[in-house]
Structure 1
Amino acid sequence: MPSMPTITVTYLFDPLCGWCYAAAPALKYLQGVEGIDVALAPTGLFAGAGARPMDAEFAAYAWANDQRIQQLTGQPFTQAYRDHILGAANGRFDSGPATLALTAVAQTAPTRELDALHALQHARYVEGRDNTDPAVIAEVLNALGLQAAASRLHEPDDALRAALLERVAAARATMQLLGAQGVPQLVVTGQGGALQLLGGDALLGPREQLQALVRAAAA
């Protein structure tokens, strides 16, 4: 019997998106399904012009949203995160450093990029470690055995920065093409290269239903 063709699922996300953190278990599940290949597409939503200071007003807004996410999904947002990230003096809400790190992983150990994303999310939301800080990011990558990626963050070269810009531009072009609003989103590549958008809600439902939706979108 001939094997089924591999289905490519592109994950549109931002490392500092709380709902993307909520979707982490679903992405981990999809990564383990035979015949499904998960490709990461960072959108840069909270980098560059989308970054901002972590002031008291924004911190309160973020915590209220995070509590709603926790109630709906069970993903934990700890007091350590509230104290050390949201409550940090002169803190920044900037996904640029984490997105650069993930690009370094994509170039040096591409099969580990989703692992790196989940570790960076866990460091922030559970351990209360600042994943906008390049030193913290390097520690997380080194703990995963991703020394090659971590070393590239000490002095990012032009090639790495260019790769980052290319990835973000491609992700945004895909969002515009499909009319995607916000993240997380899944894009399934079907037969003949046709793209099918699955909304972020699909990532928060039953795992079996998610797999069925992906396979139906690829048909």
Structure 2
Amino acid sequence: MQSARLKYIFDPLCGWCYASAPALHTLAETYPDALELMPSGLFSDTGARAMTPAWAHHAWSNDRRIEAMTGQPFSAAYQRNILQSPGMHFDSGVMNRALTAIRALDPHLEPRILRRLQSARYVDGLDTSNAAVVAGECARQVAGLDAVEFAERLGHDSGLARQTALRIGATQDLMRRAGVNGVPVLLLQSGEGEYVVNGAALYGDGAALLAEIARLSAALPPVPAR
């Protein structure tokens, strides 16, 4: 891909982003230095909500479609502890801040942490809107990270909150510029242009996504020499 960049736009609480996790894993393994994760803020701040019965029903309907289509599992523990738990908060803000902090440590860790947090929610049935839960899962993945201190940062570090907000703002600017809505979206950035990678490839195996990136890359005009 030469100097091209891959921009993966997502929200940690998006079920369809979880559906694309296997393909994203392949992407991170194949293009670790070209890949950039970009949180959209879809389910944080004004997008956050309470887990009402109506929203739980909507989520579970999508989840069953995702599982049938991709094989990504949604466990009974997730249904019981998350969807059927009164007062549960549906808010990706803590995870967005955690991913931003992890990226500052090592960008290569961020896709792995995202995948772990998705699995913690949909398979283990853990509340990933909770700072202590998210911090504990991150600490198990990152050597030297103290879960208690990290949870405090996720809840009260104004600098981290500001950095995360700036990151989400940059993602939303990119989405407007590229004319895309919803998540997940994968953009191939080459020269001054952004090109949408066929979204269906995100829900197949990693090989299908790599083939689609190669096809799109070959069709792009060459980047002028500087």
TM-score by length of 2: 0.89
* 1:42 pairs with 2:36: no
Q: CA RMSD in A?
A: 1.8
Q: Cα deviations across residues 146-180 of structure 1 (Å, max 9, x unaligned)?
A: 54485344134232111101110011111111111
Equivalent residues of 1:108, 1:149 under 8 A apart: no
* CA-to-aligned-CA distance 1:1-29 (integer Å, 9 cap, x gap): xxx62532110000000000000000001
Any idea what the Cα deviations from partners look like across 1:91-119, whole Å, max 9, x if unmatched? 01111111111111011222100000000
CA distance in 2, matches of 1:142, 1:135: 10
Q: CA deviation at 1:36?
A: 6.4
Question: What is the SS of the residue equivalent to 2:34?
Answer: strand
Could you tell me which runs of 5 or more consecutive residues in structure 1 were left unpaired when the two chains were aligned: none
Q: In the alignment, which of 99, 102, 107 is matched to residue 105 of structure 1?
A: 102
Provide the identity percentage.
38
Change in CA separation of 1:206 and 1:116 when aligned onto 2, cut-off 3 Å: closer
Residue number in structure 1 paired with 2:214: 215
CA gap of 1:112–1:149, structure 2 versus 1, over 3 A, is: farther
Change (3 A) 1:108 1:148: farther
More displaced, 101-110 or 156-165? 156-165
Match status 1:143 vs 2:132: no
Residues 209 and 184 of structure 1, relative CA distance in 2, 3 Å threshold:
same
**SS of equivalent residue, structure 1 residue 129:** coil
> Number of aligned pairs?
215
Number of the residue aligned with 2:199: 200
- 3-state SS of 2:64 partner: helix
Q: Which runs of 5+ in 2 are unaligned?
A: 221-226
Corresponding position of 1:162: 162
Matches within 5 A, 1:160-199: 160-190=160-190, 192-199=191-198
Q: Is the 8 Å Cα contact of residues 198 and 212 (structure 2) preserved in structure 1? A: no
Moved more, 89-98 or 151-160: 151-160
Q: Does 1:51 align with 2:48?
A: yes
Q: Identify the match of residue 77 of structure 1 among 68, 74, 77.
A: 74
